[in-house]
Structure 1
């Protein structure tokens, strides 16, 4: 006979094998015993028992639904972990200064009717949103907003201390802003967080790079992608590199909401036959100490043979377009120049062939502190 209350782990393992369900706990597949509970009639609560560790705030995926462990789990009892999990019927997108957080949650309220996960009436006021505390390392702010069934709410309180592992947001009704709120996609303030490229189009030759310039509302983080990495690649800092001749589309998107994006077309041309330019330096090509100088030398080659062809030296801001005050060229000849670091940051040195300006290279330089 199986005794559910003794310390025989083999009995519980047998139960798991015969009656257990395959679930995900924080995305990890495990076996668990799920049973009904009548502890709270207004919510879909279940008991969960497993040999795998459980803690409050853990997300459990069971029968295609997301649940959260809401009970405090104080280690093993009878060689297993036991807890109460609650269904998370709502999925909201919270906008905190153009940083977007996606929360699966349940809602508590005394003023609003909640049945089967739908808000029926909102005559007044406040709701409490309960989720797991997965965003504790992010910059989550008071006054963050979200939309729920066509109604706007504003966060007035953030509690992640009273029930460790859970995030409890006190929220109040807010006015819909039709100019800022993306009502179609259900994103509060989604229309007021644009990300835009400054350039309309970019041309570069194979092997050369170009620093993209963009704006992002609230300085929200962005990420980049290329439609065809065989033609042009782009790194996390927005530096595009030409790979082969052709056209590619570069996209910049809000790092936490990819619906907010902008694109620019990059045209990559073949390097003109014959000439190439490379640089040498008295030290590290990529950096200069503030207040110091570095000499750059241009080596021009034709069919891999060094030739005596003069070059033109130009210094730009990191966007490869604007002027810069972070560094200056103090002297130059047709084959070398001296760059002085003035203030901390990045500048771009352009070196082009005088006889054929289509032949050029960029050198990104960091002006850094001596210490």
Structure 2
């Protein structure tokens, strides 16, 4: 028997007895949540038995967190990742969808238009470039912010260069979309 090998039944017992039910991308799962270093953000570690990925959206205690570290392999029979609290929700208005409901006397179509449902996008908004553990982050210009959110098809289609949206009581315009961190969509935005 290898003294450095952890028995998977012990890990399972730990998750069954001390694990909390969280939502990972809207699917309930048992996880252990532990505190990370104290800093400007509320960072925590999430430990799971199933694989998790950078960009996963975690709902814990009614708050949204984003997995910001890459997690590829297991550590001691479990997966561990750093999560950060999403400090803002960006409300994106629904698009107007028009349908033909009939035709007038001249054969022209009659349209009925209605907006689709608006969505809330949990995001991390900051005035510094996105760094997890750098002691000297780079500050962006005064009229710009950095927004980090989950990389998914909805967010990719809604947050494109030159798109505008409101958050923090101001209108912002996307000037750059960085997709270099798999799972995360990192936007540079300026006041519009």
TM-score range, shorter chain: 0.7 to 0.9
Q: Select which of 50, 53, 63 maps to 1:52.
A: 50
Inter-partner Cα distance in structure 2 for 1:153 and 1:32? 36
RCO higher in 1 or 2 (8 Å CA, sep ≥ 6)? 2
Q: Select which of 79, 83, 86 maps to 1:85.
A: 83
What's the counterpart of residue 168 of structure 2?
A: 149
Inter-partner Cα distance in structure 1 for 2:159 and 2:125? 19
Q: How does 1:91-170 map to 2 (within 5 A)?
A: 91-94=89-92, 102-110=120-128, 124-134=142-152, 135=154, 138=157, 140-160=159-179, 162-170=180-188
Secondary structure at 1:138's aligned position in 2? helix
**Would you identify which runs of 4 or more consecutive aligned residues in structure 1 move more than 4 Å?**
94-101
Inter-partner Cα distance in structure 1 for 2:123 and 2:10? 35
What's the counterpart of residue 172 of structure 1?
A: 190
Inter-partner Cα distance in structure 1 for 2:171 and 2:158? 21
- Report which of the two structures shows the higher radius of gyration computed on alpha carbons: 1
State the Cα deviation string for residues 53-92 of structure 1 (Å, max 9, x = none): 1000001111111111100001222221110111112011
Structure 1 position 137, deviation (Å)? 5.8
Secondary structure at 1:41's aligned position in 2? coil
What's the counterpart of residue 73 of structure 1?
A: 71
Inter-partner Cα distance in structure 2 for 1:61 and 1:94? 20
Inter-partner Cα distance in structure 2 for 1:49 and 1:92? 28
* TM-score of the two chains, using structure 2 as the length reference: 0.73
Is 1:22 aligned to residue 41 of structure 2?
no
Structure 1 position 17, deviation (Å)? 1.8
Unaligned runs of 5+ in 2: 97-115, 129-140
Question: Relative to 1, partners in 2 of residues 1:63 and 1:96: Cα closer, same or farther, differing over 3 Å?
Answer: closer
Q: How does 1:28-43 map to 2 (within 5 A)?
A: 28-38=27-37, 41-43=39-41
- Preserved CA contact (<8 Å) 1:96 1:140: no
Secondary structure at 2:9's aligned position in 1? helix
Structure 1 position 101, deviation (Å)? 5.9
Structure 1 position 140, deviation (Å)? 4.2
State the Cα deviation string for residues 285-315 of structure 1 (Å, max 9, x = none): xxxxxxxxxxxxxxxxxxxxxxxxxxxxxxx
Structure 1 position 139, deviation (Å)? 6.0
- Preserved CA contact (<8 Å) 1:158 1:170: yes
Question: Relative to 1, partners in 2 of residues 1:140 and 1:64: Cα closer, same or farther, differing over 3 Å?
Answer: closer
Structure 1 position 146, deviation (Å)? 1.4
State the Cα deviation string for residues 161-211 of structure 1 (Å, max 9, x = none): x1110010100112xxxxxxxxxxxxxxxxxxxxxxxxxxxxxxxxxxxxx
Inter-partner Cα distance in structure 2 for 1:91 and 1:164? 21
Name whichever structure is richer in strand by fraction: 1
Structure 1 position 124, deviation (Å)? 3.0
Inter-partner Cα distance in structure 2 for 1:136 and 1:35? 29
Inter-partner Cα distance in structure 2 for 1:18 and 1:97? 46
What's the counterpart of residue 134 of structure 2?
A: none
Question: Relative to 1, partners in 2 of residues 1:96 and 1:83: Cα closer, same or farther, differing over 3 Å?
Answer: same
